[in-house]
Structure 1
Amino acid sequence: MGRWKALVILGTAQFLMVLDTSVMNVSISQLVEDFDTEVTAIQGVITLYTLVMAAFMITGGKLGDMFGRRRMFAVGLVVYGTGSAITAVAPTLWVLAAGWSVVEGLGAALVLPALAALVAGSYRDRDRSVAYGVIGGLAGAGIAVGPLVGGWVTTYLTWRLVFAAEVVVVVAVLLFVRWIEDHALPGPRVRLDGVGAALSALGLALVVLGVLQSSSWGWLRPRNSPFTVFGFAPTLFVIAAGGVVLGLFRSWERHREARGRDPLVRFSLFGVPALRSGLTMLLSQNLILLGLFFVIPLYLQVVQGLDAFQTGVRLLPVSATMLVASMCGPLLGRVAGPRTVVRLGLLVLLASILWLLAVIDPALNDLQFGLSMGALGLGMGLLASQLGNVVQSSVSEADRSEAGGLQYTAQNLGSSLGTALIGSLLIGALAGVFSSRIADDPQISDAAREQAGISIEAGVSFVTTEQVRAAAEEAGLPPTEVDAVVDSYAEAQLSSLKAAILAAAGVTLVGCAFTRNLPNDRLGSPGSGPP
């Protein structure tokens, strides 16, 4: 047990980082009600959390190199626990965003890079492969427990208790953080590149902001946008500005490196094929997972009318199979290389998404839905069992913190883009299909079409059909037109859900192209990868 004590503490922290994200996803409807807001606002809060992590993850890894990984792990936990406490008592949506999205996000940005480096530094060869399988399995366990426990607590008590309990867990982890060994890095102490940190954070923020707001601003034709650029919606210009800032960030880093100063990111690391492929696959994995975990609860809660606990029960198969597949990764590694396992995971993932696409229907088929969710978790678990080890095993000990920062930056950027992009496609498809349906329905009068068109231009929301019915009746439409509008909206709901899920399938297919450079030797065997 002695050599695995550190893994218990590190694994608990990993479990905690995943838990509250899944709680938030399953509690979307209750959060909308509690804060008297819309789904898009909660989408923004969830996206901001992962964006803060993505923006500051590399900086967090560098701080671990400067002040010690164990120390930054502990400091990050204190910040994270503070954010959890603020979230538990948040009276308004803005306080929720500050506590959960910003403070917890900053805490996680300190914890996770240190965690990845500490796991890699504490274990070698096959033990390291086992350790990353356990870490991936505990991430799966967080996804498993989050919807179920969070759903039960949200339905029968309050979601706030989950975050209050997190504070207790953080305190317990801090009491045993001394079990983790930390090895000081040789050589002079590194310095933080403040300009690089600011440029990377700003660039990532602009890209994700543009994607997130595309559903309300529009991509080209402006809708509900605060300003226009040459008569066009600002979306693509904001994304392009983010790309320019990231280009400046790259130039600045190369400039610092050429002058012998410590860069925030050494872009030479991207010349390692296995690292590059591993990071790309981590981004794709989280884009798909968080995109689907935003869409599926909407189908279960808004369309099917299930509460948070019932939603958690329906999501249990994906969580359970992800846990099992993640834990079995090291066993698979004995007979197949990471490239083979990841490709198998992508194949299972694609099949499960197409299966889910066929299951989305006005009437919920519990058996088919549960089986498709189980297959989804199996595919995700196979990816999770390999990618962390691929990234860390492709670099040397001195580069572990930086690789850990890149690893979790890729994961959280994928999570941000998943929630923003898939959510944006969902709302955009909802508006487009609803407009088309009411335009083609002869039972709807021109006056009703014009009124609906004005509402859609102002920004359509993913709400229940009962809310649409109430709004139509309040507008004074006759019963036949009310029924026609509600039917059109119900069809638009299902079509938009399918469009969002189909986009996830497209990302899965694209991801296959980036597996070529993954190693195909059995990681974890003596001598594989840098020490």
Structure 2
Amino acid sequence: MEKSIEKRIPKSLIWLCVLAFFSVLNETVFNVSLPDIAAQFGIKPSAANYVNTSFILSFAVGTAVYGKISDIYGVKKLVLISMMIYSGGSLFGLLFHAWFPILLVARFIQGAGASAVPGLIMVIVTKSIEKQHQGKAFGMIGSTVALGEGFGPILGGWIADYVHWSYLFFLPMMTLVTLPFFLRTLPDEPMKKGGLDVLGGLLFVLGIVSFTLFTTHYEWWYLTNSVILFIGFVLRIRRAKEPFVEPALFKRRRFIVGVFVGGILLGTVAGFMSMIPYMMREVHQMSTSLIGGGVLFPGTLSVILFGIVGGSLVDRQGARFVMVAGLLLLVMGLFIVSLFADRSLWIISGALVLIFGGLSFVKTVISTIVAGSLSADESGSGMGFLNFSCFLAEGIGIAIVGGLLTQHRCNFPILPIVTDVAAYLYSNLTLLLLAVVITGGAIFMIVFKGEEASLDINRN
């Protein structure tokens, strides 16, 4: 009996969830403060959004790296090292926040440390928990992350309004209190032979960074450079003995579709969420604390419930059912925001509940589908690459939306119901993001049409 319980929820997973709470908290606390940072440094939204983009880019790279080398160095060593990097980057940002370039470097270091958490959580789930219980485990993780997302806007808004946004760097250092628990609960693992394809990873990361710069500045040489780097990456992983990403994974349709659709949907919602503080400030003249506590908090907190429900529904009703439900919630929420961008704040806050709920369902389905397509020895690199791709997509989504906010290319009337000139840009951007969500959902449904049994891998 004891072995069965341990197989369902290992103690290490519980403490990693605690660390995940602070990791996500660190991202959302800065989200509501982006308009304040832009005002202090006199910069445009496209530049201010790099406070989050720099964190997410290093976060994405780290998830792939930690997942890849977890089989070599063991989970315990990597968690301890990453916590030191995370806290060190936070201290660096707190001390030198007055210089914007240093602020970006500090956020990059933070992401490099915090990125160990999602990658290693996925490894523990896929290796330690039976497939028929993985939906519940991913739902538990999603709920814990949602709790961090829920408290993030409130804490971020309150600290930015009543103290100063720079003190947000202090919060991640609280993760050091979990150090004794990890030392006691995580098993010591002997080092194994293996290596990391540094060149392959570098080519991929530089390609993503170059593409992200293109989405912000729209200079074609960034795109050309990105294509060249991606070609080099493909050639590299085909020749390397231990490639950064196993080429065999790209031959599996379930894996590719899961990663691709997950990237589209998560990146789109991340870009949308980065727009909300600017919209609330410009259209509704709201304070930072009210944006976090009054507008974003109900939605982020509701993800706790949606995460639990989504995990159970995947196990009982199947992945396809939950994906359809998640897509419908996303579409309804985005459409409501687009229609009522200049109307009641309560309508927008209610729509965000739908959007966060749909996102929670989608995350659970994508994680479950990809995990089910991997063998035990592929779990580290496969789930690491999933996290890598999704977080990179979030960073790109935030950068794209920041660029569109700065360029004002969507600032014209489309929907007759939107009458406030200041709301045109935000309403139209939401419509554009809605179209992207529908496209991503359509790709998923077309590819898996007629494969209900194959999708419902965890259904009892």
TM-score computed with the length of structure 2 as normaliser: 0.89
Q: Is the 8 A contact 2:140 2:311 kept in 1?
A: no
Matched residue count: 442
Displacement of 1:287: 1.1
Question: Are positions 1:358 and 2:362 aligned together?
Answer: no
Distance in 2, Cα, partners of 1:157 & 1:264? 43
Question: Are positions 1:93 and 2:79 aligned together?
Answer: no
Question: Are positions 1:172 and 2:152 aligned together?
Answer: no
Q: Which residue of 1 aligns with 2:424?
A: 495
Matched to 2:238, the amino acid is: R
Question: Are positions 1:302 and 2:282 aligned together?
Answer: yes
Distance in 1, Cα, partners of 2:176 & 2:69? 22
Displacement of 1:431: 5.4
Q: Which residue of 2 aligns with 1:241?
A: 225
Question: Are positions 1:208 and 2:192 aligned together?
Answer: no
Q: Is the 8 A contact 2:262 2:366 kept in 1?
A: yes
| Deviation readout 1:296-354 (Å, 9 max, x if unpaired) | 11111122211111001211222122221111122212432112211221122111111
Q: Is the 8 A contact 2:89 2:109 kept in 1?
A: yes
Q: Is the 8 A contact 1:19 1:142 kept in 2?
A: yes
| Deviation readout 1:487-523 (Å, 9 max, x if unpaired) | xxx72x4222122211210110111133245674544
Say which structure is richer in helix. Answer: 2
* Secondary structure at 2:49 match in 1: helix
Q: Is the 8 A contact 1:114 1:404 kept in 2?
A: no
Q: Percent identity?
A: 21
Question: Are positions 1:514 and 2:431 aligned together?
Answer: no
Distance in 2, Cα, partners of 1:80 & 1:520? 42
Q: Which residue of 2 aligns with 1:472?
A: none
Cα 1:207–1:61, aligned 2, differ >3 Å: closer, same or farther?
A: same
Q: Which residue of 2 aligns with 1:255?
A: 239
Distance in 2, Cα, partners of 1:59 & 1:296? 32
Q: Which residue of 1 aligns with 2:385?
A: 406
Cα 1:345–1:419, aligned 2, differ >3 Å: closer, same or farther?
A: same
Q: Which residue of 1 aligns with 2:416?
A: none
Q: Which residue of 1 aligns with 2:295?
A: 314
Q: Is the 8 A contact 1:56 1:201 kept in 2?
A: no
Which of 402, 406, 418 lines up with 1:427 in the alignment?
Answer: 406
Distance in 1, Cα, partners of 2:336 & 2:280? 16
Q: Which residue of 2 aligns with 1:287?
A: 267
Q: Which residue of 2 aligns with 1:461?
A: none
Which of 324, 329, 333 lines up with 2:305 in the alignment?
Answer: 324
Distance in 1, Cα, partners of 2:40 & 2:153? 18
Structure 1 unaligned spans of 5+: 215-234, 437-489, 527-531
| Deviation readout 1:248-298 (Å, 9 max, x if unpaired) | 111111122xxxx11111121122222212212221232122111111111
Matched to 1:213, the amino acid is: H
Displacement of 1:181: 4.5
Displacement of 1:433: 4.0
Question: Are positions 1:84 and 2:65 aligned together?
Answer: no
Distance in 2, Cα, partners of 1:274 & 1:19? 31
Cα 1:267–1:405, aligned 2, differ >3 Å: closer, same or farther?
A: same
Q: Please, which moves more after superposition, 129-138 or 82-91?
A: 82-91
Q: Which residue of 1 aligns with 2:54?
A: 48
Highest Rg: 1 or 2? 1
Cα 1:139–1:383, aligned 2, differ >3 Å: closer, same or farther?
A: same
Which of 31, 37, 60 lines up with 1:25 in the alignment?
Answer: 31
Q: Is the 8 A contact 2:76 2:188 kept in 1?
A: no
Displacement of 1:98: 1.0
- Residues 365-380 of structure 1 correspond to what in structure 2 (within 5 A)? 365-380=344-359
Distance in 1, Cα, partners of 2:260 & 2:188? 29
Question: Are positions 1:63 and 2:69 aligned together?
Answer: yes
Q: Which residue of 2 aligns with 1:382?
A: 361
* Secondary structure at 1:176 match in 2: helix
Matched to 1:172, the amino acid is: V
Distance in 1, Cα, partners of 2:71 & 2:213? 30
TM-score computed with the length of structure 1 as normaliser: 0.78
Distance in 2, Cα, partners of 1:283 & 1:185? 34
Displacement of 1:166: 1.6
Distance in 1, Cα, partners of 2:43 & 2:207? 28
Question: Are positions 1:266 and 2:273 aligned together?
Answer: no
Displacement of 1:157: 2.3
Distance in 1, Cα, partners of 2:17 & 2:144? 6
Distance in 2, Cα, partners of 1:360 & 1:131? 36
Matched to 2:306, the amino acid is: A
Cα RMSD, aligned residues only: 2.5
Distance in 2, Cα, partners of 1:240 & 1:506? 26
Q: Is the 8 A contact 1:65 1:185 kept in 2?
A: no
Distance in 2, Cα, partners of 1:141 & 1:64? 26
Question: Are positions 1:107 and 2:107 aligned together?
Answer: no
Displacement of 1:9: 0.9
* Secondary structure at 1:190 match in 2: coil
Matched to 2:263, the amino acid is: L
Structure 2 unaligned spans of 5+: 414-419
Question: Are positions 1:9 and 2:15 aligned together?
Answer: yes
Q: Is the 8 A contact 1:206 1:238 kept in 2?
A: yes
| Deviation readout 1:78-113 (Å, 9 max, x if unpaired) | 11111122222322212211111x101211333432
Distance in 2, Cα, partners of 1:505 & 1:19? 26
Q: Which residue of 2 aligns with 1:142?
A: 148
Q: Please, which moves more after superposition, 410-419 or 515-524?
A: 515-524
Displacement of 1:126: 3.4
Q: Which residue of 2 aligns with 1:339?
A: 320
